[in-house]
């Protein structure tokens, strides 16, 4: 098998399990800060219309998972699954928690609701050893029959998943992929070289660089408003039209920066509100954007050629 055939094989396997252009969806709330079920269904359908995302992560960081109850998480999984039923969209449930038993309970609940896969972040706050991280991943992967995407984001969890830990985790038959937000391309390249884990960019500004070392897709924040352009970026790169991919990457730089000036959930919800889409407020300890911050974000969106409103 040639290197190109190898990459295509793993791209296909990852696509079947998770999709390729995936947005980590916000959790819509009503004006009282309660879950907006209608808004969640509307947003999920909008994000997955033809030419946009073929996967959605719910209950992730951008979904304010640390601020929602287990019951609210289960309800959101159900609402999104029902909203996209029949479309082929993959619904991936974030099951991150600071302790393993809680993550296992979330994983089993997501499986019971009909999720297609699990997103499992390294346990946060306790800063466990690498052996503890590995045992955490394996225990969750053993708890259901769903495919698992690991999530490596040390700036949030306080601990990086080391390459040897990822190599060991890759031996589990249900651990298939990594959402990479470590910002260490050399480390990621070594893991891709030593395993068949499918890598997804979890840092929008590194979408194109990660493709260049073997990533197969994106788990994106900006996919809320430019999912179709991320799909174009992936298609151009996959087809060898690298100059066109680079052009798209450069066009999107303002939005890559703009969405992360403030916490992403707040920025996304402000962007959605500007386009008449459901999102609502964020929950404390997050706060909404100020008028000044919103104005700056709107200029970022305009610089990236995002329309001021969406067609009905």
- Which residues are known catalytic residues? 151, 179
- Contacts (Cβ under 8 Å, ≥6 apart) of 198: 10, 11, 13, 14, 18, 176, 177, 178, 216, 217
| DSSP-derived secondary structure letter, 35 | B
Is 152 in a helix, a strand, or coil? strand
- What is the spatial distance between Cα 183 and Cα 201, in angstroms, rounded to a whole number? 10
Q: Are 146 and 107 within 8 A, CB to CB?
A: yes
Q: How many CB atoms lie within 10 A of CB 239?
A: 10
Tokens describing residue 38: 């209608």
List 177's β-bridge partners, or say none: 149, 198
The 10 Å CB-count burial string (b at 16+, else e) for 156-181 is ebebbbebebbebbbeeebbbbbbbb
> 């707040």: which residue's tokens?
266
256 by Cβ neighbours in 10 Å (0-12 / 13-18 / 19+) ranks as buried
Nearest alpha-carbon partner for 120 in 185, 60, 187: 60
């Amino acid at each position: 098998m040639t290197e190109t055939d190898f990459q295509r094989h793993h791209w296909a396997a990852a696509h079947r399990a998770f999709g390729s252009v995936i947005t980590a969806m916000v959790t819509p709330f009503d004006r009282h800060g309660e879950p907006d079920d209608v808004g969640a269904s509307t947003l999920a359908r909008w994000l997955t219309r033809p030419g946009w995302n073929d996967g959605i992560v719910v209950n992730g960081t951008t979904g304010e998972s640390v601020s929602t109850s287990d019951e609210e998480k289960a309800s959101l999984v159900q609402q999104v699954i029902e909203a996209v039923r029949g479309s082929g969209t993959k619904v991936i449930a974030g099951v991150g928690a600071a302790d393993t038993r809680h993550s296992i309970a979330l994983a089993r609940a997501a499986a019971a609701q009909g999720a297609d896969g699990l997103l499992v972040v390294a346990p946060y706050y306790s800063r466990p050893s690498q052996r503890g991280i590995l045992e955490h991943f394996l225990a969750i992967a053993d708890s259901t029959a769903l495919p698992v995407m690991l999530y490596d984001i040390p700036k949030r969890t306080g601990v990086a998943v080391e390459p040897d830990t990822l190599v060991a985790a890759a031996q589990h038959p249900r651990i298939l992929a990594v959402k990479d937000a470590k910002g260490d391309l050399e480390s990621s390249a070594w893991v891709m070289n030593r395993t068949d884990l499918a890598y997804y960019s979890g840092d929008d500004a590194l979408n194109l660089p990660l493709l260049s070392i073997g990533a197969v897709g994106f788990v994106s924040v900006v996919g809320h408003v430019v999912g179709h352009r991320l799909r174009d970026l992936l298609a151009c790169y996959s087809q060898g039209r690298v100059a066109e991919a680079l052009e798209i990457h450069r066009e999107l730089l303002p939005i890559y920066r703009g969405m992360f000036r403030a916490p992403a959930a707040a920025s996304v919800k402000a962007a959605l509100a500007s386009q008449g889409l459901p999102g609502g407020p964020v929950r404390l300890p997050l706060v909404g954007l100020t008028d000044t911050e919103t104005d700056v974000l709107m200029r970022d969106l305009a610089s990236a050629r995002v329309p001021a409103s969406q067609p009905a």
